Structures are given as C-alpha cells and as structure tokens.
C-alpha cells in the first residue's frame, strides 16, 4: 500500500511549512502484524522526514523517516500500512498526552475518540440550546 497519497503528502508539506502550530495528525501508519504506530503531522521539504508521534514500544514525539517506514519488510510480503479510516480529530499534543497516559497510541485511540465525540456533541448542542 502507498503510505502517502498525493493529497496527504501536500497537507503534510503545508503543515511542515507552519512549524509553530500544534497540528492535527494527517496520517496514521501501523504495523499490521505487531508493534509500531506512527501519527504524522508534518513532512519536511526533503520529502522524507516526518514529524509526529511514533510508538515502537513507547510513544514519543519526534522525527521519523518515510523511506525507512516504507522499506520495512514484514512476513507474508506485508509492510507498514496506512489506516485509511483514520481521522485525527485532535491535535498531536492531545494524542501525545493520551498515549503517554495510556501507555501506547493504540490504547490512547479510545480516549482520544471519546474526547472528540464529546466535543462534537457539545458543539452540536450549542445551537439547539440557543434556540430555546
């Protein structure tokens, strides 16, 4: 699977030009056979250096290589995959805090999605409350 589509690559590059913002993750990549999850928010102009939250045993904010991720060869001819259903919803700082508290990105997903749902529910409720 192609880890980055052209659209995702453009969004990551645009985010990379705005380093002073706490971006929402654009793409989630994962090892389908074991440990390893990466949430990327930015891509450097070099086309290889991603910034985001990586979890290969312990979640850590930092830089990682797209080429290295793409070159990982797993059993059965598999490689690192992109989660095509992923929606970042909240900033990378929120993801990092949740992952550190939960112990991993995978464990944090339940927390982050619950928070995002609660925020959406609260914002959906505001207009109806104003009408009453």
How far is the C-alpha of 81 from the C-alpha of 125, rounded, in Å?
37
pTM score of the predicted model: 0.87
Task: Compute the radius of gyration of the chain from its Cα atoms.
Answer: 16
pLDDT above 90 for 105: yes
Q: Is 103 in a helix, a strand, or coil?
A: coil
For the chain, give every domain's residue range: 6-125
How far is the C-alpha of 86 from the C-alpha of 1, rounded, in Å?
15
Average pLDDT over residues 51-61: 97
* Percentage of the residues of the chain whose pLDDT score is greater than 70: 90
The single residue listed with the structure tokens 């797209």 is 66
Average pLDDT over residues 18-33: 96
pLDDT at position 100: 96
């Amino acid at each position: 699977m192609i880890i980055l589509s052209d659209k995702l690559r453009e969004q990551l590059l645009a985010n990379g030009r705005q380093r002073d913002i706490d971006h929402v993750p654009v793409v989630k990549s994962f090892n389908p056979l074991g440990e390893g999850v990466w949430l990327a928010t930015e891509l450097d102009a070099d086309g290889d250096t991603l910034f985001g939250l990586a979890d290969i045993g312990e979640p850590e904010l930092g830089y990682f290589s797209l080429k290295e991720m793409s070159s990982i060869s797993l059993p059965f001819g598999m490689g690192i995959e992109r989660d095509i259903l992923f929606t970042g919803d909240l900033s990378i700082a929120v993801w990092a805090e949740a992952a550190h508290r939960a112990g991993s990105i995978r464990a944090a997903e339940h927390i982050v999605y619950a928070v995002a749902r609660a925020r959406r529910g609260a914002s959906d409720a505001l207009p109806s409350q104003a009408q009453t």
